Amino acid sequence: MITKEIKALFCNIVDAENYDDSKVGRLVYSYDATPQYQSMPDAVIAPKNTAEISEIIKICNNYKIPIVPRGSGTNLCAGTCPTEGGIVLLFKHMNSILEIDEENLTVTVEPGVITLDMIAAVEKKRLFYPPDPSSMKISTIGGNINENSGGLRGLKYGVTRDYVIALEIVLPNGDIIQTGGKLAKDVAGYDLTRLFVGSEGTLGIITKAILKLIPMPETKKTMLALYQDLEAAARSVSKIIANKIIPTTLEFLDQPTLKVVEDFAQIGLPTDVKAVLLIEQDGPLEVVEQDMKKMAEICKAEKAISVQVAQSEEEAENLRTARRSALSALARLKPTTILEDATVPRSEIAQMVTAINEIAEKYSLDICTFGHAGDGNLHPTCTTDVRNHEEIERVEQAFAEIFQKAVELGGTITGEHGVGMMKAPYLHLKLGEAGIAAMKAMKQAFDPNNIMNPGKIFAKDTRKRVVVEK
């Protein structure tokens, strides 16, 4: 509850136009990209700088007011839904690229920078920031860091965590700390930098980041391998890696996904095949050509019915864009789209794809599957309707089985979307009670009053995944 007195304290810190407790203003930030989670914040604050954030958080800590840092809200785990009310903190005034350092190959950013804007800025200097979540056109770097976002280039280049080398953080007590540096190596104490990456705004507020860049690869090639057999496609993925080729991108789309994506994007994707692999390699020209040739051979040996290399960068970009639009395309089919990201070791992809299809059949559900096959990171996606309670019950049971299966195969309940509220009821499958207890102790150490994005990561009592009672 924000009383008049507390509001006055906040308004002493930020200008009046940056404190909004109007109903409309709060409604806009009552939800994020995750279906079916909504909760009204008490106020929305847009600070101008780190010092203001430090003052704001001190008040929150003093009065035990929840605070939810939020970028563009594109996450899919209800990670920025203000579940317990309180403050939603916006970074619209903290959205500058502060420096591109060509000697140390780093970029320094404020959290509100749009991912793609930053990627474009560094590419102008022939530098490369690999993490490319599908939402990168609107997502912010701050959001990417808090969720440890992945993307299509993760197989070869890793995820957001692999590129964050320094952070400025405001802790719940108002302390401002600096972690890491423009350093290839730093072992001065615990690695707070990597700990905060993927901490979902539950430990403190990231107010600045230094990201590692790498030289821009010389060239890139793209191809599609078409299959009439899902498992053959999945086997091709394992075989490519086992043959010691690490392509930049190795994406999988099944036929239902292909059909809706083609319907949406109209770029001439094949819709008469059971699955495709979208494969990309980058690097020096000779290496790329050699790898593409070898991968095409492996796919054919694994019963790909055809392998087509994109003939232009435009065609390649169309294919990538089509893949990135899979969620948007599927979302058109039915009122509710539940996109998950169960992840398994690469060697288990074929088994996981089979299991997903069996589970979909068992519960009579429409589950399309696409995703980052090279990472073992699949996105089984169910198109459904939350108003159909009977079906939603089946959806819940099906996803619980999918998570259970992923963990059985040595996998995890979430590869890149985060836990948030959505996966919290399943976290014990991966971590066990002892693992959760260790993480809760850490949370308690940083945030004893539980003001930082409360209700996320750690489940309360509910096991319901889709519909949350208010």
Q: Which is nearer to a second copy, 268 or 284 (CB)?
A: 284
For residue 253 the two structure tokens come to 């789309």
Residue 44 φ then ψ, to 5°: -120, 125
CB 386, min distance to a second copy, A: 25
Q: Which is nearer to a second copy, 39 or 144 (CB)?
A: 144
Rounded CA-CA distance 274/372 in Å is 17
Q: Which is nearer to a second copy, 294 or 303 (CB)?
A: 294
Q: Which is nearer to a second copy, 112 or 374 (CB)?
A: 374
Determine contact, residues 34/331, Cβ cutoff 8 Å: no
For residue 430 the two structure tokens come to 């991966």
Helix H or strand E encompassing 368: strand 367-372
Q: Which is nearer to a second copy, 366 or 408 (CB)?
A: 408
CB 337, min distance to a second copy, A: 20
Rounded CA-CA distance 166/179 in Å is 5
Q: Which is nearer to a second copy, 267 or 438 (CB)?
A: 438
Rounded CA-CA distance 181/39 in Å is 37
Name the residue among 456, 450, 469 with its Cα closest to residue 417: 456
Mode of pairing for the β-strands spanning 127-128 and 214-215 = antiparallel
CB 73, min distance to a second copy, A: 17
Rounded CA-CA distance 122/100 in Å is 7
- Coil, strand, or helix at residue 416? coil
Q: Which is nearer to a second copy, 8 or 445 (CB)?
A: 445
Q: Which is nearer to a second copy, 14 or 136 (CB)?
A: 136
CB 438, min distance to a second copy, A: 6
Helix residue ranges, H only, 64-217: 115-123, 141-147, 154-157, 192-196
CB 219, min distance to a second copy, A: 12
Residue 254's DSSP bridge partners are: 275
Rounded CA-CA distance 258/270 in Å is 7
CB 370, min distance to a second copy, A: 15
CB 342, min distance to a second copy, A: 10
Determine contact, residues 387/335, Cβ cutoff 8 Å: yes
Rounded CA-CA distance 193/326 in Å is 32
CB 183, min distance to a second copy, A: 6
- Coil, strand, or helix at residue 454? coil
Q: Which is nearer to a second copy, 27 or 214 (CB)?
A: 214
CB 104, min distance to a second copy, A: 5
Q: Which is nearer to a second copy, 28 or 439 (CB)?
A: 439
For residue 67 the two structure tokens come to 């605070």
- Coil, strand, or helix at residue 373? helix
Q: Which is nearer to a second copy, 63 or 458 (CB)?
A: 458
CB 329, min distance to a second copy, A: 23
Tell the residue number behind the tokens 């290496």, with chain if given.
Answer: 287
Rounded CA-CA distance 21/41 in Å is 8
CB 432, min distance to a second copy, A: 7
Determine contact, residues 136/119, Cβ cutoff 8 Å: yes
Determine contact, residues 443/458, Cβ cutoff 8 Å: yes
